[in-house]
Amino acid sequence: MKFSASQSSESNIHPAANASQMPVATAPSKALIVTVVIAILLLAINMRAPIIGFGAVAKLVQQDLGLTTKTIGLIGTIPVMAFASSSFVAPMLSRRIGLENTMILATSLLAIGIFVRVAHPQLGFLLAGTVLLSLAISLGNVLIPAVIKKYTPNHIGLVMGSYSMFLSVFAGFASGIAMWLVSLSSWQFALGVWGWVSVAAVAAWLIVAHLRLRQKISTHDAQVINQAVAEAGRPSRKSVWKIPMAWWISAFMGLQSLLYYTLASFLPSLLIDKGLSKAQAGNVGMVFQLVAFPSILLLTKWVSSNWNLRTLALLAAVGNLVGVFGFGFLPLQGWVWVWSIASGFGCGVIFTLCMMIFTLKSKDSQQAAELSGMAQTVGYSIAITGPIVTGWLKDLSHTWTLSMSFLTILMAINCVFSWLATQNKAIE
């Protein structure tokens, strides 16, 4: 059986994506479908760009507001904490107010959060805006797969692939142009410009809601969400929380997330402190993000060709290890691109591979839902510690040595988890 990265992501990001198989009473028009796709892609642009863009200008924000590195690291954990709670918030909202209305709420909160974050150069505004945009992104993370399955059931791979591509490309774009935008005005302008994309997304989702009402489409959203929640909450023959391999998968995914969000928060600052210009640091950060897209394509080819997953998992884990060790302790001049590609490859492959493992290693959809919920809960709980500890170690030692040693040790440990998480057997 062949699997694609886009299909795997769609089916495992949230149980709602597995449950929404009910046919619609009236087929959506071509205009509605096109509008939905446009709305999805507009939202995708801002699913990572506000977070990655902040990491690119974090040094300037820190200096302007007089913040410690630990505080910047704490701000970097806010999105991760929001993601960990999204599986509970999104289904309740969607069940209560409807899928399309929840997407309107998510895009509206995203726009408001981006603008609040830069409304005034104070820590309170920065924190409040970051919380709002993080909650908005978490809603989108959970519900986008349900939207895709609902409106484009015959083109899930194409739409999810486009969505994933926009995530990766615009995350890299946000990192690459951040300092150029700062040079035009300020760091507030560099972060606030993305709010106008969210305004456009709000308009697109409003049109979707209008077209849906005009066509009188009924999709039984409440039943779909209730079914998904019931499936996720129903215990399997043996709880995945009692299965060692489920813990290996959760740890493997969690340590990758820890590295990704830590580098997203601190990589530009680290590179600037080690002698690179702001523009060079932004370009390296952009490469780190963009490498994820070809990495996912490679993973898709690898899995569809039935090649050994353990080999790819180990290569990705070693890539993370090499990248972190290179950034921290090896020469940057001429080699910084190697470290960026290695770490970007590792992060891009491991996340998508873990999403695939939920399906490949599970006995049935019920167990896959449980495994997905466990891995994301444990994984994001682990990831929260990365930016906090990294920032604390930087403030403690006034250098990056302890911070990068911490990350290097964790990535070495994750090489072991890559081996354990890809055993050639089902979860049992």
Sign of CA dihedral 386, 388, 391, 394: negative
At residue 78, does pLDDT exceed 90?
Answer: no
Helix (H, G, I), strand (E, B) or coil at 22: coil
45: Cα within 13 Å, side-chain hemisphere: 18
| Residues 266 and 395 sit within 8 Å (Cβ to Cβ) | no
b/e 213-229 (16+ beta carbons within 10 angstroms → b) = eebebebebeebbebbb
Q: Report the candidate in 186, 209, 245, 261 with the shortest Cα–Cα distance to residue 99.
A: 209
pLDDT by residue (tens digit) across 135-148? 898 888 777 767 77
Q: Higher confidence at residue 376 or residue 231?
A: 376
**Residue 183 binned pLDDT confidence (cut-offs 50, 70, 90):** confident
Residues 327, 334: Cα–Cα separation, whole Å: 12
pLDDT by residue (tens digit) across 307-364? 778 898 999 999 999 999 999 999 888 899 999 999 999 998 887 787 667 666 766 5
Residues 97, 107: Cα–Cα separation, whole Å: 15
pLDDT by residue (tens digit) across 93-111? 877 888 889 899 999 999 9
What are the extents of the domains in the chain? Answer: 5-421
Residues 267, 55: Cα–Cα separation, whole Å: 7
19-33, 79-93, 282-296: range with lowest mean pLDDT: 19-33
Residues 390, 2: Cα–Cα separation, whole Å: 40
299, two tokens: 């993973």
Q: Higher confidence at residue 404 or residue 219?
A: 404
| Residues 126 and 75 sit within 8 Å (Cβ to Cβ) | yes
Q: Report the candidate in 15, 1, 5, 3 with the shortest Cα–Cα distance to residue 368.
A: 15
- Full DSSP string of 355-403: HHHHHHS-SSHHHHHHHHHHHHHHHHHHHHHHHHHHHHHHHHHSSSHHH
Phi, psi of 235 (to 5 degrees): -65, 145
**5-421: in CATH 2.60.40.4070:** no
Q: Report the candidate in 360, 141, 378, 372 with the shortest Cα–Cα distance to residue 256.
A: 378
**Residue 161 binned pLDDT confidence (cut-offs 50, 70, 90):** low
